[in-house]
A and B are shown apart, each in its own frame.
Chain A
Amino acid sequence: MTAVFVVDDEPQIVRALRVGLTASGYDVRSAGNGETALDMLAADPADVVLLDLGLPGIDGVEVVRRLRSWTQVPVIVLSVRDRQADKVAALDAGADDYLTKPFGMDELLARIRVAMRRAAPAGSVSGPVVRAGDIEVDVAKKLVKKGDRPVHLTPTEYALLEALVTNPGKLLTHRWLMERAAGGSSGGASQYVRVYVAQLRRKLEDDAARPRWILTEPGLGYRFAEE
C-alpha cells in the first residue's frame, strides 16, 4: 500500500486527511511537528509527504531542506500561505508541489498521483513516445509531430518540451526548467524560460494565447496538462 505521511499541527485537518486518504487506499501516518516527522521518516520512509509550512519548532521549508539531504521522496506542501514568495521558497527548497489551503480532496488526490508517477522509474509510465492530443513527442528519436506535420524545434526548445511532457501534471519551476533546458541557472531564469515557452506554444498549441497543454503557474513556473 502507498504510504502517505502528513505533517501538520492542526489535529482537525490531520483527522480529515487521514479518513479521506485511508478511504482512497493510502496508508496514512502523521506528525504534529517537523522534528518528529523527520525522525519518523528516517526510521520508516513514506512514498509521499504532505507538509504544512507553519509548524511549531522548525518551519516547513526547513523540513523540506533537511529531507532533501537524504531522500527524494515527493513532497507536496499544503499551506494557508498564498504569497508567491512562500511558494517559491518551498519549491526552491525542494518541494515538488504546492497546494493552498483550503483545497478539495479530489485535487489533493490528483496531485498525489502525479507526484507518485514522477517518483516511479523513468520510462515505465510514458514509454518512448508521449502523446498529448495531436502532439506527439518521440523521446527516443527526439522527433516532434503535431498531427501529421513534423515540427522543427531548436535544441533548447526540445529540451524544454521533453522536460515538460515527461512530467505531466507536475509543477515545474522556472529554475528547474532552466537547469534542464539550458544546463544552468541564472538570475534571469524566469525571463529566459518564458521566451522559449512562448515559442513552444506558437509551434504546438492550437491557440498560443489560450494554451491547452503548456499551462502557466503564475510566478512559479509551468505545468504540462494531463490528458
Chain B
Amino acid sequence: MGVLDLIEPRSPWRFTVAVAGPGAATLIALGIGSERSTAAALIYLLAVVATATVGGLGPGIIASALSFLGLNYFFTPPHHTLSVGKSDDLIALVVFVSVGMIVSTLVALGLGQRARAERREVEARSLYAISSRLLGTDDLGAALAELASSMVRLFGLARCEVRIAGEDGVVETRAFAGEPAAPEATSVGVPLATAERDLGALVLWPGHGPFGEAERRVAAIFARQTASALERGLLEREAREARVSVEADRVRRALLSAVSHDFRTPLASIKAALTTLTTGTGRHLTDVDRKELVGTALEETERLERLVTNLLDLTRIRSGALAPERVAMPVEDVIEDSLAGLRTPLGEHRVSVFIRPDLPNVSVDPVQVGQVLQNVLQNAAKFSPPRSEIRIAASRWQGAVEVRIADKGPGIPAPDREAVFEEFYRSGDGRVAGTGLGLAVAKAIVLAHGGQIWVEDTPGGGTTVVVRLPAEAMVR
C-alpha cells in the first residue's frame, strides 16, 4: 500500500466537493469584502481542509489549486487578474498553496490509515468469528455457510463456494453464498490446506468490490485459518469418536463377561445336577442323593431368578417404569421390615440398630427402600468377617433422614467408591459370589426417590454406606 492507494477514486461526487468547497469559500469571502485578503485566505484554507477530509488527497490538492487561483484573482491586487503586484503577496500565495497541499496530504493519510485499520478490524473479526464457529460447532454445514457469506460481504463478491474433500476423496461444494455465477465469469481458487493435508478450496467470483493482489492475500489468510480450524475440528471429532467407542467397547465387554459368568455359573450346577439325575448314573443314586441334586438345581434356579429380577428391576427403575409409591412412615419401620424380610439371613453377624428420637417420617416406597437396605446389608455381611457387628444408625440431616449401615470389613479404597454402584462391579479380586447388581439397584431406587447414596469409611475400619432419604415435610 502506498500513497497511490489514497488517490484511487472511491466515489464520483468527491470531485464535486473539490470544486464546490473553493467556490463556496469565494462567495463567502467576497461577501466579507475583497480588500480583506487575510480573512479570505483563512476561509479558503478551511475549504481545503474540509475538501481533503471528505474527498481525500486528490480533491484536497485540486481544492488547493482552485483556492490559489481564487485568492489570486479576487483578493490580491491587482484584482481580477492573475498577476501579483507585490512580492509579499506572492510569498503569501506560495505559502498558502504549500499549507493547503500539506494539510490535504496529512488529512488524507490519516483518513486512509483509519479506513485501512477499520477494514483490518472487520477482517480480523470475521476471521475470529469463523474460526471459533468452525472449532466450536457440530454443525459444520452451518459454519461453512457463514464462512461463505462472510467472504461475500467482506470482499463484495458475486459468489463464494466452499469445496471440501470428503473421506472418499471426492471434492464437493459444502456451502456457498451469493448468486450462481455465469459460466463465463472468471473465478479465483484459494486452496484450503494445512501442512498435513489438503482439505479443499474456496472458489471466489469477484463482484462489485475490487479483487486484486491485496484481497487475494487476505483471502488466502482466511483460507489458511479455515483449513486449520477445520483440521483441528476434524481431529478433535476423530479423537472424541475414538474415545467414545473405546469406552462403549469396554462397558460392553465387561457387561458381556459379567453376564456370561453370572448366568453360566448357576446354569452349570443346574445342568450337572439334572444330567446326573437323568442319565445312566441316576440309577445308582440314593433318595438322599436325588433330594440333594433337586435341591441344588432349585437353589440355583432361584439364584438365576434373582439375577434376572435384579436386571429387570434395574432397567425398569432407570427407565422410570417402576416409580416409587410413596408412603409417609417412621424410618425404624422401614429398617425393621427390611431386616425381617431378608431372604438370606445375615449369617452370624450381630446387627444393632440405633435410631435418634424425634426423627421426621420418611416419604418412601417401603418395598423399594426395604430392598435398598437389604441389598446394602447383604453386601455388608458378605464382605465383613463372620460374627462381626453390622451397625445401622438413623439420624436427621436438614430435611432428610440418613441411614448409615456400617460394617467392619476391609473397607473400599476411595477411588472405587463411585464404581461400587455400577452394575456388575466386583470388589478387589472379584471372588465373592453375587450378582454384582445389588448396589446398582440400590442406587437406582434411591435416586428415583430423590435421595442420595454413597460410601464412607467406618471409624476404626470398614465400609459405611449412607442412604439419604427425603423426610415427609421435604416432599410435600
* Chain A residues at the B interface, C-beta cutoff of 8 Å: 9-10, 12-13, 15-17, 19-20, 22-25, 54-57, 78, 80-82, 101-106, 108-109
Inter-subunit contact B261/A13 (CB<8 Å): no
Q: List 16 A-B contacts (CB under 8 A).
A: A10-B269, A13-B272, A15-B296, A22-B289, A23-B282, A23-B285, A23-B289, A55-B431, A57-B429, A80-B264, A80-B268, A82-B260, A102-B272, A105-B275, A105-B276, A105-B281
Q: Does B135 contact A (CB under 8 A)?
A: no
Q: Which residues of B contact A25 (CB under 8 A)?
A: 284
Closest B residue to A104 by beta carbon equals: B275
- Beyond A12-B299, A104-B275: 13 further Cβ-contacts under 8 Å? A10-B265, A12-B269, A15-B269, A20-B272, A20-B273, A80-B265, A82-B260, A102-B268, A103-B268, A103-B272, A104-B271, A105-B276, A109-B281
Q: Does B300 contact A (CB under 8 A)?
A: yes
Alpha-carbon gap, A22 to B286, bound state (A): 11
Shortest Cβ distance from residue B152 to the other chain A in the assembled complex, whole angstroms? 60
Shortest Cβ distance from residue A109 to the other chain B in the assembled complex, whole angstroms? 7
Alpha-carbon gap, A108 to B269, bound state (A): 13
Inter-subunit contact A16/B272 (CB<8 Å): yes
Which residues of B80-99 have CB atoms within 8 Å of chain A's CB atoms? none
Shortest Cβ distance from residue A69 to the other chain B in the assembled complex, whole angstroms? 23
Known contacts being A15-B296, A16-B269, A16-B293, is A105 close to B279, with CB within 8 Å? yes
Shortest Cβ distance from residue B219 to the other chain A in the assembled complex, whole angstroms? 57
Inter-subunit contact B275/A13 (CB<8 Å): no
Inter-subunit contact A12/B271 (CB<8 Å): no
Q: Does B267 contact A (CB under 8 A)?
A: yes
Known contacts being A9-B431, A13-B269, is A106 close to B279, with CB within 8 Å? yes
Q: Which residues of B contact A57 (CB under 8 A)?
A: 429, 431
Q: Which residues of A contact B284 (CB under 8 A)?
A: 23-25
Q: Which residues of B contact A82 (CB under 8 A)?
A: 260
Closest A residue to B295 by beta carbon equals: A15
Inter-subunit contact B276/A19 (CB<8 Å): yes
Q: Which residues of A contact B267 (CB under 8 A)?
A: 101-102
Q: Does B143 contact A (CB under 8 A)?
A: no
Closest B residue to A56 by beta carbon equals: B431
Q: Does B270 contact A (CB under 8 A)?
A: yes
Inter-subunit contact B433/A10 (CB<8 Å): yes
Q: Which residues of A contact B430 (CB under 8 A)?
A: 54
Q: Which residues of B contact A109 (CB under 8 A)?
A: 281
Which residues of B280-302 have CB atoms within 8 Å of chain A's CB atoms? 280-282, 284-285, 289, 292-293, 296-297, 299-300
Shortest Cβ distance from residue B89 to the other chain A in the assembled complex, whole angstroms? 109
Shortest Cβ distance from residue A51 to the other chain B in the assembled complex, whole angstroms? 14
Q: Which residues of A contact B429 (CB under 8 A)?
A: 56-57
Closest A residue to B267 by beta carbon equals: A102
Shortest Cβ distance from residue B109 to the other chain A in the assembled complex, whole angstroms? 79
Shortest Cβ distance from residue A155 to the other chain B in the assembled complex, whole angstroms? 43
Inter-subunit contact A106/B275 (CB<8 Å): yes
Inter-subunit contact A54/B275 (CB<8 Å): no
Q: Which residues of A contact B275 (CB under 8 A)?
A: 20, 104-106
Alpha-carbon gap, A59 to B386, bound state (A): 24
7 tightest Cβ-Cβ pairs between the two chains A and B: A20-B276, A101-B268, A56-B431, A102-B271, A80-B264, A105-B275, A102-B268
In the complex, which of the residues B261, B264, B296 contacts A16, with contact meaning CB atoms closer than 8 Å?
B296
Shortest Cβ distance from residue B134 to the other chain A in the assembled complex, whole angstroms? 45
Q: Which residues of A contact B297 (CB under 8 A)?
A: 16
Shortest Cβ distance from residue A105 to the other chain B in the assembled complex, whole angstroms? 4
Inter-subunit contact B279/A15 (CB<8 Å): no
Inter-subunit contact A15/B431 (CB<8 Å): no
Q: Which residues of A contact B268 (CB under 8 A)?
A: 10, 13, 78, 80, 101-103
Alpha-carbon gap, A105 to B279, bound state (A): 8
Q: Which residues of B contact A54 (CB under 8 A)?
A: 261, 430-431
Q: Which of A12, A104, A108 has its CB near the most chain B CB atoms (within 10 A)?
A: A12
Alpha-carbon gap, A55 to B265, bound state (A): 13
Q: Does B266 contact A (CB under 8 A)?
A: yes
